Amino acid sequence: MLKDYLRLHFIVLLWGFTAILGKLLAPTPAVELVFWRTGLAAAGLGLLLAARRVGWRVAWPEALKLLGVGALVAAHWITFFLAARLSSVSVCLAGLATLALWTSLLEPLLLWRRVRAYEVGLGLGAMLGLYLISQAELSQLTGLLVAVGSAGLSALFSVLNSQLVRRHAPVRLTFYEMAGAWLSIALFLPFYGRYLTHGAGVRLALHGYGWLWLGLLAGVCTVYAFSSSVELMKRLSAFVVNLTINLEPVYGILLAQGLYWLRVPGFGQERMAGGFYLGTVLILASVLVHPVIEQWSRRRARVVANS
C-alpha cells in the first residue's frame, strides 16, 4: 500500500505540471490543445498495446461505455485548460478543490452505497484549504467556476473508471478512452470552428517549443500518468485517489513558483501568504486522516460483526 501511495503522489506531481504546460502552450486554444493531446496519447497507447501484446478487442457495449467516458475526459481537460487561461495557475488548481467533495457525493449515488459523512467532511476541509491557498479575487471568479465544473467532470469519470478497470486491462481501457476523447473533439471541431471561435477558425498549428511541451503533456502526463492512475484504482478507491489529487494545487503552485524564480516568461509570482501554509496543512490533514478513519471504521465494523 505504501508503494501505491508513493506512486499516486508522483502521478499527482505530474498532473500538477499540466497546468504549467497549459500556460506554456497558451497560444494554442484549449480545444485544439486537447485534440492534439488525446490524439497523440491514443497513438502512443496503441503502440504500447502492440508492444505488450495486450488484446484490444472488447464487446461493442463495453467499447461504447469506454468511448463515452473518453468524451467526459475530453470535456474535463478542455475546461481545465480553459480555467488556466481565465485565471492564474493557483486559482485554476484551486477549483479542483471540489474534486473530493464531488466524489464523496457521486460515488455513493452511482455505486449505490451510503454517503459517508467523514468523506464529505474531509472533502469540505480540503476545499477550504484550497480556497485559502488560492485567495481567489473576484476578477478570477470565472476561471474558478470553470475549474469547479471541470472537477465535477473529473470526479464523474473517476468513479466510472473505478468500475470499468475491474473488467479491462488499464492500458486497453486508457486507449479506448483517449480514442473516445479524440473522436468526440474531432466531431465537435466543425461546429466549434464555425460558431465558437469568433471568426478565428480552428487553430491547430504549434510554434517554437510547442511540440516539446505537447510531447511531455501527451507522453508523460497522459500515457504514463493516466494509465497508472487507472491501474491504481484496482486497489485504491476513487475517493482516496481524488482526495490525494487535492495535493495537485500544492505541487503545481510550487512548480510555478520555481519557474518564476527561473524567470521563465509567462509565470508571475504565486502568492505565498500565510493562507497558503494554513491551506496546505488542511489539505495534508484531509489526505492523511482519511486512511486512519477508514481503518478505524473497518475495525469497528468487524468488532460489531463478531459481537
Average pLDDT (110-125) is: 76
Residue tagged 497558451 (cell numbers):
26
Q: Which residue has the higher pLDDT, 180 or 84?
A: 180
Cβ atoms within 10 A of the Cβ of 142, count?
Answer: 14
| 67-81, 243-257, 282-296: which is most confident | 67-81
Query: Across residues 62-88, what is the average pLDDT?
Result: 90
Q: Which amino acid is at 278?
A: L
Mean pLDDT, range 165-171, rounded to an integer: 86
**Which of these ranges, 97-106, 134-143, 220-229, 236-245, has the smallest mean pLDDT?**
134-143
pLDDT of residue 38: 95
Q: pLDDT tens digit string along 228-259?
A: 888 888 788 776 776 677 677 678 777 877 77
121: buried, middle or exposed (CB in 10 Å: 19+, 13-18, 0-12)?
middle
Read off the pLDDT of residues 139-159 as tens digits, 9 standing for 90 and up. 677 887 898 899 899 989 988
What is the C-alpha separation between 81 and 76, in angstroms, rounded?
Answer: 9
pLDDT (0 to 100) of residue 24: 81
Q: What is the DSSP string of the chain?
A: -HHHHHHHHHHHHHHHTHHHHHHHTTTS-HHHHHHHHHHHHHHHHHHHHHHHT------HHHHHHHHHHHHHHHHHHHHHHHHHHHS-HHHHHHHGGGHHHHHHHHHHHHHT-PPPHHHHHHHHHHHHHHHHHH---GGGHHHHHHHHHHHHHHHHHHHHHHHHTTTS-HHHHHHHHHHHHHHHHHHHHHHHHHHSSTT--------TTHHHHHHHHHIIIIIIHHHHHHHHTTTS-HHHHHHHGGGHHHHHHHHHHHHHHTT-TT-PPPP--HHHHHHHHHHHHHHHHHHHHHHHHHHHHHHHHH-
- Which of 241, 220, 279, 175 minimizes the C-alpha distance to 15? 220
The pLDDT value given to residue 271:
53
Q: What average pLDDT score do residues 161-188 get?
A: 91
The percentage of the chain sitting over the pLDDT mark of 90, rounded to a whole number, equals 23
Confidence label for 179 from pLDDT (cuts 50, 70 and 90): very high
User: Nearest to residue 236, comparing CAs of 141, 103, 133, 118?
Assistant: 103
pLDDT exceeds cutoff 90 at 267 = no
Which position has the grid cell 490524439?
A: 39
Q: Given the C-alpha cell 484549504, which residue does it identify?
A: 129
pLDDT score for 133: 64
| Residue 94 burial by Cβ neighbours in a 10 Å radius (0-12, 13-18, 19+) | buried
Tell me what pLDDT residue 196 has: 83
**Average pLDDT in the 18-27 region?**
81
**Grid cell listed for 85:** 487561461
